[in-house]
Amino acid sequence: MAKIKILDELLASKIAAGEVVERPASVVKELMENALDAGATSISVHIIEGGKRLIRIVDNGHGISKEDAPLAFYRHATSKISSEDDLYSIRTMGFRGEALSSISSIARVTLKTRRPEDISGTMVVIEGSTTPEVSEDGTPEGTSIEVKDLFFNTPARLKFLRSNESEYGKILDVFKKIALINPDKRFKIIHGSGRALETAPGTLKQRIADLFGIEVIKSLIEVKSPHLTGFISSPDLTFPTSKGIYTYVNGRAIRDKGVNRAIIDGYGSIIDSRYPFAVLDLIIPFEDVDVNIHPTKSEVRFKNTRFIYDSVKYAIRGALSTGLLPSKAAPSISYSSRPVYGNNLSYPVSQSKESFAAETAPFYFDEPVERRLEFHRDTEEVKNPELLELDTIGQVWGEFLLAQSKANGGELYLIDQHGAAERSAFERLKKQFMEAKIKRQMLLLPERIETTPEERDSINESMDYLDRLGFEIMPFGPSIKTGGETFLLKSVPDLLSAKSCGTLIRDLAEELSSVGGSSRVEDRIEEALMRIACHSVIRGPRPLTREEGNALIREMVKIDFAGHCPHGRPVIKKFTRSEIEVMFKR
Note the pLDDT tens digit of each residue in 107-136. Answer: 999 999 999 999 999 999 998 878 889 999
Asked if the structure places residue 4 within a domain, the reply is no
**Are residues 168 and 216 located together in one domain of the fold?**
no
Q: Are strands 245-249 and 278-282 parallel, antiparallel or unpaired?
A: parallel
Q: Which of 289, 324, 359 is the last residue of a domain?
A: 324
**Are residues 139 and 258 located together in one domain of the fold?**
no
**Are residues 341 and 451 located together in one domain of the fold?**
no
Confidence (pLDDT) at 159: 86
Q: Which residues pair with 395 in a beta bridge?
A: 401
Output the domain CATH number for residue 14: 3.30.565.10
Nearest alpha-carbon partner for 252 in 172, 180, 203: 180
SS3 257: helix
pLDDT in tens, 470-520: 888 999 888 877 778 899 999 888 767 666 777 778 888 887 776 554 445
Q: Which amino acid is at 203?
A: T
Record the pTM: 0.66
Confidence (pLDDT) at 456: 87
SS3 234: coil
**Are residues 399 and 545 located together in one domain of the fold?**
yes
Measured distance CA(142)–CA(64) in Å, rounded: 8
Q: Identify the DSSP state of 541.
A: -
Measured distance CA(73)–CA(97) in Å, rounded: 9
- CA angle, 343 as apex, 554 and 571 as ends, to 5°? 50
Q: Which of 324, 342, 368 is the last residue of a domain?
A: 324
**Are residues 24 and 160 located together in one domain of the fold?**
yes
Q: Identify the DSSP state of 321.
A: H
Q: How far is CA 233 from CA 11, 91, 270, 419, in A?
A: 47, 29, 12, 22
Asked if the structure places residue 329 within a domain, the reply is no
Confidence (pLDDT) at 561: 57
**Are residues 229 and 309 located together in one domain of the fold?**
yes
Asked if the structure places residue 256 within a domain, the reply is yes
SS3 499: coil
Asked if the structure places residue 429 within a domain, the reply is no
Asked if the structure places residue 3 within a domain, the reply is no
Q: Report, in angstroms and rounded to the nearest whole number, the Rg of the chain calculated over CA atoms.
A: 30
Which contacts (CB < 8 Å, 24+ apart) does range 186-189 have? 186/41, 186/42, 186/43, 187/42, 187/43, 187/44, 187/45, 188/42, 188/43, 188/44, 188/45, 189/44, 189/45, 189/46, 189/47
Full domain range(s) for residue 301: 206-324
- CA angle, 221 as apex, 219 and 225 as ends, to 5°? 165
Measured distance CA(462)–CA(515) in Å, rounded: 8
pLDDT in tens, the chain (586 residues): 566 655 555 555 544 554 568 899 999 999 999 999 999 999 999 999 999 999 999 999 999 999 989 988 887 666 554 454 544 555 566 555 578 888 988 999 999 999 999 999 999 999 887 888 999 999 999 999 999 999 998 888 888 888 888 899 899 999 999 999 999 999 999 998 888 899 999 999 999 999 988 878 888 999 999 999 999 998 888 887 888 999 999 998 988 889 999 999 999 878 877 889 999 999 998 888 887 665 565 678 888 999 999 999 999 999 988 876 444 333 444 443 333 333 333 333 333 333 333 333 333 333 444 444 444 444 456 767 777 777 887 888 877 888 888 777 778 888 887 777 777 777 777 777 776 777 788 888 888 888 888 888 888 888 888 888 888 899 988 887 777 889 999 988 876 766 677 777 888 888 777 655 444 555 566 667 776 766 666 566 777 777 877 887 777 777 765 556 555 667 788 888 878 877 887 7
Q: Which of 503, 520, 536 is the last residue of a domain?
A: 536
**Are residues 264 and 314 located together in one domain of the fold?**
yes
Helix-, strand-, coil-residue percentages of the chain, each rounded to 5: 40, 25, 40
Asked if the structure places residue 114 within a domain, the reply is yes
Output the domain CATH number for residue 488: 3.30.1370.100
Nearest alpha-carbon partner for 452 in 172, 62, 100: 172
Measured distance CA(14)–CA(191) in Å, rounded: 27
Q: Which residues pair with 46 in a beta bridge?
A: 56, 190
Asked if the structure places residue 51 within a domain, the reply is yes
**Are residues 515 and 547 located together in one domain of the fold?**
no
Asked if the structure places residue 432 within a domain, the reply is no
**Are residues 367 and 484 located together in one domain of the fold?**
no
Q: How far is CA 348 from CA 278, 368, 422, 545, in A?
A: 27, 30, 15, 12
**Are residues 37 and 116 located together in one domain of the fold?**
yes
Measured distance CA(492)–CA(535) in Å, rounded: 12
User: How many domains is the chain partitioned into structurally?
Assistant: 4
Q: Which amino acid is at 580?
A: I
Nearest alpha-carbon partner for 267 in 298, 239, 304, 227: 239
Beta-carbon contacts of 384 under 8 Å, excluding residues fewer than 6 positions away, are: 556, 557, 558, 559, 560
| 283 alpha carbon, distance to own chain's centre | 22
**Are residues 90 and 186 located together in one domain of the fold?**
yes
Measured distance CA(425)–CA(443) in Å, rounded: 20
Measured distance CA(126)–CA(105) in Å, rounded: 9
**Are residues 194 and 342 located together in one domain of the fold?**
no
